[in-house]
């Protein structure tokens, strides 16, 4: 059994913060941000919760798949920025969609979250435990960012993307993932719920903190390496890959991966200019845009690849139907 994607959806908040407006908040410039990252604007969830965005993206995916929410068996939400710890974001989504039969849980793997959630759903479908799954990546990173830190706040944005999978006998899905906890310090965000029993004056900042250069170096070596590993394992010549749908973290990282793989930049669709890095939401938002624009044809082989906090990284191969 393989999970076939029969519907995709996405949703981003209306509120837009462009680079000019951001340069009134921190010491930066439109030119610097565009040249160093490719980001031009990002969407900010001022009113919406992560769960609301996730539910809206999920609803669109179910509508496209023409599936009654009551028939959904599994809801997985990849997120690091749920607005509450309990209940999980996936259970909130279940309530909003009326997906009364679904088993629901969240998965925390930052920017590789959607990929890891997709793999998890595929494993459930392959084993026959569930027959379908709604996989969502949703983030309100604007809540985790230190808006005084120009090294991070310029990069991130909010939004959600979703894919609905239905099990079928044929089809192809393969994946390789890795985690490297020894490099975990390169990208951290402490819990905001650690000081209930005793106040610790030296408690760490509860904002996202990042060694940007370290993460950059990691990404440009690990992503092409894991893609190559996957293609070799699956014995697929790279010429057969229609698109490489990469986590949208930095245009320079995507260009470097394209160069290192010896593959044309046209095979690496980007939307980072519009949304910034939406972490676990970036791959499903891009996938939904490509799908709705009619860029994906039956039989197209797609590679999805991501890296992120953990540090972790991975790549998946799927055939579009
Ligand atoms: N505006 C203007 N100048 C800046 C800014 C800014 N926003 N940020 C840094 N600078 C300055 C620095 O102070 C530095 O100045 P100096 O040379 O006088 O010291 C100079 O620009 C270069 O700084 P670098 O940090 O070397 O800049 P770099 O080219 O590496 O770009 C960036 C920084 C964009 C953060 C890059 O390192 C990056 O994209 N790294 C990957 C980050 C990433 O992908 N993170 C997501 C991980 S996924 C997840 O799980 C959440």
The protein residue whose alpha carbon is closest to atom 12 in ligand 1 is 151
Contact, 41 vs 274, CB < 8 A?
Answer: yes
Please give the mean pLDDT across all residues of the chain. Answer: 95
User: What pTM, to 2 d.p., does this model score?
Assistant: 0.95
> N- to C-terminal Cα distance for the chain?
15
Rounded to 5 degrees, φ, ψ at 186 are -70, -20
What is the token pair recorded at 94?
């279940």
Q: Pick from 294, 292, 301, 297: which is nearest to 263 by CA?
A: 301
Residue 69 and residue 90: Cα distance in Å, rounded?
13
Cα torsion at 184, 186, 192, 194 (round to 10°)? 50
**Predicted confidence (pLDDT) at residue 203 exceeds the cutoff of 90:** no
Residues with Cβ within 8 Å of 253's Cβ and at least 6 positions away in sequence, in order, are 216, 219, 220, 223, 246
Residue 266 and residue 270: Cα distance in Å, rounded?
9
The protein residue whose alpha carbon is closest to atom 11 in ligand 1 is 151
Residue-wise over 66-77: b if at least 16 C-beta within 10 A, else e? ebebeebbbbbb
User: Ligand 1: does its nearest atom lie under 6 Å from the Cβ of 321?
Assistant: no
User: Ligand 1: does its nearest atom lie under 6 Å from the Cβ of 37?
Assistant: yes
- Ligand 1 atom with the smallest distance to the CA of 111 is 50
* C-alpha of residue 231 to centroid of ligand 1, in Å: 31
Kindly state the percentage of the chain with pLDDT values over 70. Answer: 96
* C-alpha of residue 137 to centroid of ligand 1, in Å: 25
Contact, 112 vs 137, CB < 8 A?
Answer: no
Residue 137 and residue 129: Cα distance in Å, rounded?
22
Kindly state the percentage of the chain with pLDDT values over 90. Answer: 93
User: Ligand 1: does its nearest atom lie under 6 Å from the Cβ of 28?
Assistant: yes
Q: Pick from 146, 124, 240, 158: which is nearest to 192 by CA?
A: 146
Question: From edge to edge, which strands make up the β-sheet containing 2-11?
Answer: 2-11, 158-168, 132-140, 74-78, 103-107
pLDDT of residue 148: 92
User: Ligand 1: does its nearest atom lie under 6 Å from the Cβ of 250?
Assistant: yes
pLDDT tens digits along 245-303: 999 999 999 999 999 999 999 999 999 999 999 999 999 999 999 999 999 999 999 99
Which residue among 24, 36, 249, 283 has the greatest number of ligand 1 atoms within 8 angstroms of its CB, and so is best to mutate? 36
**Predicted confidence (pLDDT) at residue 193 exceeds the cutoff of 90:** no
User: Ligand 1: does its nearest atom lie under 6 Å from the Cβ of 32?
Assistant: yes
Residues with Cβ within 8 Å of 232's Cβ and at least 6 positions away in sequence, in order, are none
Residue 129 and residue 121: Cα distance in Å, rounded?
10
User: Ligand 1: does its nearest atom lie under 6 Å from the Cβ of 306?
Assistant: no
Residue 40 and residue 272: Cα distance in Å, rounded?
8
Looking at the annotation, which residues are catalytic? Answer: 111, 247, 277
* C-alpha of residue 225 to centroid of ligand 1, in Å: 23
pLDDT of residue 197: 56
Rounded to 5 degrees, φ, ψ at 173 are -150, 130
pLDDT tens digits along 109-137: 999 999 999 999 999 999 999 999 999 99
- Three-state SS at 126: helix
* C-alpha of residue 28 to centroid of ligand 1, in Å: 11
Q: What DSSP element (H or E) covers 92?
A: helix 89-97
Q: In angstroms, how far apart are the furthest CA atoms of the chain?
A: 59
pLDDT of residue 144: 93
Confidence of residue 206 (pLDDT cuts 50, 70, 90): confident
Q: For residues 52-74, give the mean pLDDT.
A: 98
pLDDT of residue 191: 76
**Predicted confidence (pLDDT) at residue 84 exceeds the cutoff of 70:** yes
User: Ligand 1: does its nearest atom lie under 6 Å from the Cβ of 215?
Assistant: yes
């Amino acid at each position: 059994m393989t999970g076939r994607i029969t519907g995709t959806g996405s949703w981003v908040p209306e509120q837009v913060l462009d680079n000019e407006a951001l340069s009134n908040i921190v010491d930066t410039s439109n030119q610097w941000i565009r040249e160093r990252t490719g980001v031009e604007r990002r969407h900010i969830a001022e009113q919406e919760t992560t769960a609301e965005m996730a539910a809206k993206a999920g609803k669109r995916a179910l509508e496209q798949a023409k599936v009654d929410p009551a028939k959904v068996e599994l809801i997985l939400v990849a997120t690091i920025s749920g607005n509450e710890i309990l209940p999980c974001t996936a259970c909130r989504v279940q309530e909003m969609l009326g997906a009364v039969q679904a088993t629901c849980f969240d998965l925390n793997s930052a920017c590789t979250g959607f990929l890891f959630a997709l793999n998890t759903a595929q494993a459930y479908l392959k084993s026959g435990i569930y027959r379908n799954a709604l996989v969502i990546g949703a983030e309100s990173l604007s809540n985790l960012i230190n808006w005084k830190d120009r090294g991070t706040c310029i990069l991130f944005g909010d939004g959600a993307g979703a894919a609905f999978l239905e099990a079928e006998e044929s089809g192809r899905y393969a994946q390789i993932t890795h985690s490297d906890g020894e490099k975990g310090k390169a990208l951290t965000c402490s819990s905001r719920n650690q000081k209930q029993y005793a106040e610790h004056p030296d408690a760490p900042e509860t904002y996202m903190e990042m060694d940007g250069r370290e993460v950059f170096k990691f990404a440009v070596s690990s992503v092409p390496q894991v893609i190559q590993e996957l293609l070799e394992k699956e014995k697929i010549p790279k010429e057969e890959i229609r698109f490489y749908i990469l986590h949208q973290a930095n245009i320079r990282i995507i260009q470097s991966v394209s160069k290192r793989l010896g593959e044309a930049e046209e095979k690496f669709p980007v939307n980072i200019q519009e949304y910034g890095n939406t972490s676990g939401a970036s791959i499903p938002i891009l996938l939904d845009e490509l799908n709705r624009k009619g860029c994906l044809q039956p039989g197209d082989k797609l590679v999805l690849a991501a890296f992120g906090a953990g540090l972790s990284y991975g790549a998946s191969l799927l055939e579009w139907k």
